[in-house]
Amino acid sequence: MLSQAVVNGLIAASTYLLVALGFSLIYTTSRFFHFAHGAVITLGAYLAYSINSQAGVPLLGAAVISVFFCGLLGVLMNHVVYNRLLRKGAGSLVLMLASFGIYLIFENVTTIIWGASTLGFSPGLPSSICKWHACITRIHILTLAIAAVSWVFLAILFARSRHGLLMRAVAESRELATAYGIKTHEIVDASFFIGSAFAGLAGILMAADVGMTPTMGLHALMMGVVVAIVGGIGSLRGLLLASLLVGLVRHLSIFVVGSQWQDSIVFALLLVVLLKSPWGFASDAAAQEV
């Protein structure tokens, strides 16, 4: 029983991590909570579904195209809304409110286009592999692998590449980076592209597992935000630890307290972290200033 619960926790953690990676990547360069990220998650799944079933592209190809479009969508949101707001001197609260608005628009457009009931890539009986009293499906293994690869990719990007260095510079101070001749707009766009692509990827993987609904992105995003804050935004190691913590807490707490408190426990954890050390347990110089 315990082995299954731990596996469940790990599977959940991998999707939280994917969402949180994109979310916090965008936060590090643009310094606001981009809630429309949830809409990108949902749209990633639905786009892949339509490209796959309506245009007849094989699922893998459809997923790649959809992830690319999600990246573009993120950049588009940045250009059409956020950049204009920034130019007028908007602060992080205004940008966050605007992202609420964008989320609302996208969720409802999705419902109008695709309907409210569940759609899925692979209807029917899932086949699973069981060992040591724990069962797992191929999609779960794929999700775990992709989450791990994405984390390593970002770690290398940040630590080794020139592009990652520029991102870190922008994260430290946008004004200073501009003063040094860094094209900050391009860097922010890049982070929106990569972050939103991760969101689309997470959406597709979740939909491949349990199907898609227009509200799927919101719940995934909530968990992603909790992970991002508990882990300390901007710290990759923190995100990894926090996603494991939140995933395991969600799946193990049910054996201790009633399942109706599953969400409460996660948000109580968030509250404690916020009050004790707002920058999460893996602190990061840039986040501490908040």
Partner 1 sequence: MRRCAVLPALFLIVIMVIAGCSNQQEQKKSERSKATVKELLIGAVLPLTGDAAPWGIPPKKGAQLAADEISQKGNLKIKIDFQDTTCQPARGISAFRQLADVYKIPVVMGAVCSSVTLAIAPVAEKERVVLISPASTSPKISSAGDYIFRVVPSDALRGRIFARYLFKKKGLRKVAILYINNEGGVGNRDSFKNEFTSLGGKVVLEEAYPPQSRDLRAQLTKIKNSNVDGVIAVSYPDDTILIMKQAAELKVGKPFFYQTEAVEDPSVLKQAGAAANGAIYILPAPAEGEAARAFAQAYEKRYGTKPELFAAEAYDIIHLVVKAAEANGGRLEAEKVRDYLYTVKSYHGVSGIISFDSNGDVIKPMAIKIIENGKPRLLEIVGLE
Partner 2 sequence: MEAYFYHLVVLGGVYIVLTQSLDLISGHTGLMSIAHSALFGIGAYGVAIFYGQMHYPFIVAWLIGMVLAGMAGLMVGLPSLRLRGDYFVIATFALQVLCFNFMNNVSNVTGGTLGITGIPTPWFMSTTARAALVCSSLALLFSFIKWVLTRSPFGRVLNCIREDEDLVMALGRNPVGFKIAAFMISAVMAAAAGGIYAAYVSFVDPTTFTVMDSIAILCAVIIGGSGSTAGPVFGALILIGLPEILRFVGLPYSVASNVRQIIYGMLLVLILMFRPGGVVGGFSFDIREHTRL
Question: Buried b / exposed e across 120-136, counting CB within 10 Å, b at 16+?
Answer: ebeeeeeeeeeeeebeb
Quote the CA–CA distance of 199 and 18 in Å, as a whole number. Answer: 7
Q: Is residue 231 within 8 Å of 274, Cβ to Cβ?
A: no
- Indicate which of partner 1, partner 2, none lies near residue 181 (CB less than 5 to 8 Å, by partner kind): none
Q: What are phi and psi of 176, to 5 degrees?
A: -65, -40
Considering the rule CB under 8 A, would residue 159 count as an interface residue with partner 1? Answer: no
189: which 2 tokens? Answer: 């766009």
- Indicate which of partner 2, partner 1, none lies near residue 65 (CB less than 5 to 8 Å, by partner kind): none
Q: Which residue, 181 or 289, has its beta carbon nearer to partner 2?
A: 289
54: which 2 tokens? Answer: 């309506």
Q: Which residue, 145 or 271, has its beta carbon nearer to partner 2?
A: 271
Q: Is residue 27 within 8 Å of 234, Cβ to Cβ?
A: yes
The separation between CA 170 and the C-alpha centre of its own chain, rounded to angstroms, equals 21
169: which 2 tokens? Answer: 């510079």
Considering the rule CB under 8 A, would residue 142 count as an interface residue with partner 1? Answer: no
Binding mask 244-273 for partner 2 (x = CB under 8 A): --------------x-xx-xx--xx-xx--
Least distance CB 247 / partner 2 (angstroms):
18
- Indicate which of partner 1, partner 2, none lies near residue 162 (CB less than 5 to 8 Å, by partner kind): none
Of the residues 102, 136, 166, 169, which one makes contact with partner 2 according to CB under 8 A: 102
Of the residues 83, 178, 262, 277, which one makes contact with partner 1 according to CB under 8 A: 262
- Indicate which of partner 1, partner 2, none lies near residue 83 (CB less than 5 to 8 Å, by partner kind): none
Considering the rule CB under 8 A, would residue 172 count as an interface residue with partner 2? Answer: no
Name the strand (E) or helix (H) holding 274. Answer: helix 262-276
Contact stretch for partner 1 (CB under 8 A) within 24-32, 94-102, 110-118, 172-180: 110-118
Name the strand (E) or helix (H) holding 238. Answer: helix 236-252
Q: Which residue, 76 or 109, has its beta carbon nearer to partner 1?
A: 109
Q: How many residues does the chain have?
A: 290
Q: Give the residue among 106, 102, 90 at the shortest CA–CA distance from 32.
A: 90
- Rule CB under 8 A: which residues touch partner 1? 1, 4-5, 8, 11-12, 116-120, 123-126, 128, 130, 135, 137, 206, 210-211, 213, 215-216, 218-220, 250-251, 254-255, 258-260, 262-263
